[in-house]
Amino acid sequence: MAHPLVSRLADQILLADGAMGTMLYAAGIDLDASFDALNLERPQVVAGVHRAYLAAGADIIETNTFGANRARLEHFGLADRIRDINLRGVKIAREEREISGRPALVAGAIGPTGRTLAPFGTADPLAVRAIFQEQIEALLEGGVDLLTIETIGSLDEMVEAVTAAREASDLPIVALLTFAEDGRTLAGNTPEDAVIRLADLEVTAVGANCSVGPQRILPVLRAMGEALATRQGDRPALACMPNAGWPTHLGGRVIYRSAPDYFGDFARQAAMAGVRIVGGCCGTTPEHTRTMRAALDTLVKVSVGDPPADGEGSAPAAPNGTGGKAVRGVPDLRGVDLVPSEGPTEVAEKLGKKFLVSVEIDPPKGFNPAKALDGARLLKAAGVDAINVADSPMARVRMSAMTLCYLIQHQVGIETILHFTTRDRSLMGLQSELLGAHAVGVRNILALTGDPPSLGAYPDSSAVYDVDSIGLIRVLTQLNAGNDSAGASIGRMANFTIACAIDPTRTDLHEEARRLRAKLEAGANFVMTQPIYDLNVWTRFLDVYEQVHGDRELNVPVLLGVLPLQSSKHAEFLHNEVPGITLTDEARDRMRKAGPDGRREGVAMARALLEEARPHVQGVYIMPSFGRYEVAAEVIEVLRVDR
């Protein structure tokens, strides 16, 4: 499946954010300071900039890493902090994207090294490439969605940067050169030179940024467009992010003259010139972004379900014939049957009858569920049977998983499996929430104990744990029998489909086998495993289960956990730092050997495991990292022949 950037460029113009440095300067940061080091020193200031651009309607936000390469950080004595600065820069951007809930893409920002290559300078091309690669690897480790290589004044340096990126990853690349008033780069390259050379390197988009103001950059873009029109085969998209005019110094401050409204006009002109990624550079602010958002939205009719530009929830229209008004921010429930079906869930009906496919989505860290809903739509179109919704994974605060399940089921039209933990709820609270979930049709429940608060951002928060996952399954079974945990009638029998979890990679498999048997005896209807990377791990657990219980048959369907790997560093992080995930030595070695093809190797490994496991399990439970739902869709393509 195509990367989300590529897919979205096919049918819409994407709006990139504006200047990071301008906003940091406005916040009082000295121009002589390392803006990149603020990722470590004042992350809240950087986060505030991202937050403002997301609220203004940006589809792409760039990390605060423009100068975070060795050549530039050495000037500040920070060469030993390259990885930390870049990783934190990605983390800050991704956190703000998650909080906003917008389906924005996080671009790893890569600026020039400041070193001049021959014949005008003495810098060794391979040394420059190594500088870029060091930074790029850290950005990839952090989980960027794409790479933006920008403000490069030499086509030769751009080639080294793009080559470094291609040697490290297959992520999309947006390559932006900077042009002078004469329409050439500082090294004398023409727009046509740039298109011819960079298109052959398979960049996703090519264009110009920084440079001069909007009107002087448009001829450059038009020249690039004309050169692309003559090219055979795949053509990169056009992108531009100009400065807000020429800077002036006033009262000891740097001022850019181009007003936000002026950029709204520019966005329309750029779109008419064929540009598919529009944004701003030095001097632009969230106000410039907001006016460009409004301008672009007038050019393209926004489809139903697209998030509004301000990042807020919108009120659904009142149904025809109701004569009423919807309340802003509150789902309109008129016409929705809130009385749940008496019959089994769709998941229950499919279990054991077909190879069931479920994919996990995390709730947003803020109010807006747009990104999660878009992910659910993509997965539904790919043929997924159900969406798992995690319950504040890693003990970090997120939107209620139950709320997101409701929204997915009612707005996307696909069943969910709610991860429900006992960590945060008393026995009474557990039952109250389960009754509410049943009332709105959320009836597939994965019973979990939950990660302890000490793992998350609130280590002093009190866990409840009135019951563990086994006790929760008993509660659900009681509700299905028409009674609460105290034996009092709830008026009718519930109809929950109950899942339980199993970790076949644990050291103490005998204890895991004992607990699984207890979960099944308590009433679990199917099993979902933690991710594994070798089918022998599962069969070894079944051997232990047989030793403990005298029978290796679980007598319920099993969904095998699969977490596609992205890179060697991603694999090592999961293996060493994430509870419940243990990789085999072979999987780690394959990812080390994959190098820049890590994502493809991860998908290939997941597909191979899936094909091998199909005769032995009844479904798959895919957990894509970094919200890359298209990776899950790629993995399950192997099932399409038989589905």
Annotated binding site for Zn(2+): 210, 281-282
Task: Identify the helix (H) or strand (E) that includes residue 161.
Answer: helix 155-168
Query: Encoding tokens for residue 606?
Result: 């997941």
Residue whose entry in the numeric block shows the structure tokens 């470094």: 164
Q: What is the DSSP letter of 618?
A: S
Distance CA 547, CA 510 (A): 8
Give 363's strand partners: none
CA distances from 154 to 121, 547, 627 (A): 11, 67, 35
Task: Identify the helix (H) or strand (E) that includes residue 277.
Answer: strand 275-278
Q: What is the DSSP letter of 574?
A: H
Q: What is the DSSP letter of 334?
A: T
Query: Encoding tokens for residue 411?
Result: 């707005």
Q: What is the DSSP letter of 395?
A: G
DSSP 28-94: T--TTS-TTTHHHH-HHHHHHHHHHHHHTT-SEEE-S-TT-SHHHHGGGT-GGGHHHHHHHHHHHHH
DSSP 3-state of 208: strand
Q: How buried is 316 (Cβ within 10 angstroms: 0-12 exposed, 13-18 middle, 19+ buried)?
A: middle
DSSP 3-state of 252: coil
Q: What is the dihedral of CA 109, 40, 457, 139, to 10 degrees?
A: 30
DSSP 3-state of 364: coil
Does the bond joining 119 to the residue before it have cis omega, within 30 degrees of 0? yes
DSSP 3-state of 487: coil
Pairing verdict, β 237-242 and 526-531: unpaired
In 439-525 the beta strands, taken as DSSP E runs, fall at 444-448, 497-502
Distance CA 56, CA 311 (A): 8
Asked if 386 and 416 touch (Cβ cutoff 8 Å), the reply is: yes
Q: How buried is 121 (Cβ within 10 angstroms: 0-12 exposed, 13-18 middle, 19+ buried)?
A: middle
Query: Encoding tokens for residue 622?
Result: 């895919």
Give 418's strand partners: 389, 445
Name the binding residues.
Answer: 210, 281-282
DSSP 3-state of 492: coil
| Residues whose CB falls within 8 Å of the CB of residue 554, separated by 6 or more in sequence, listed in order | 516, 520, 527, 545
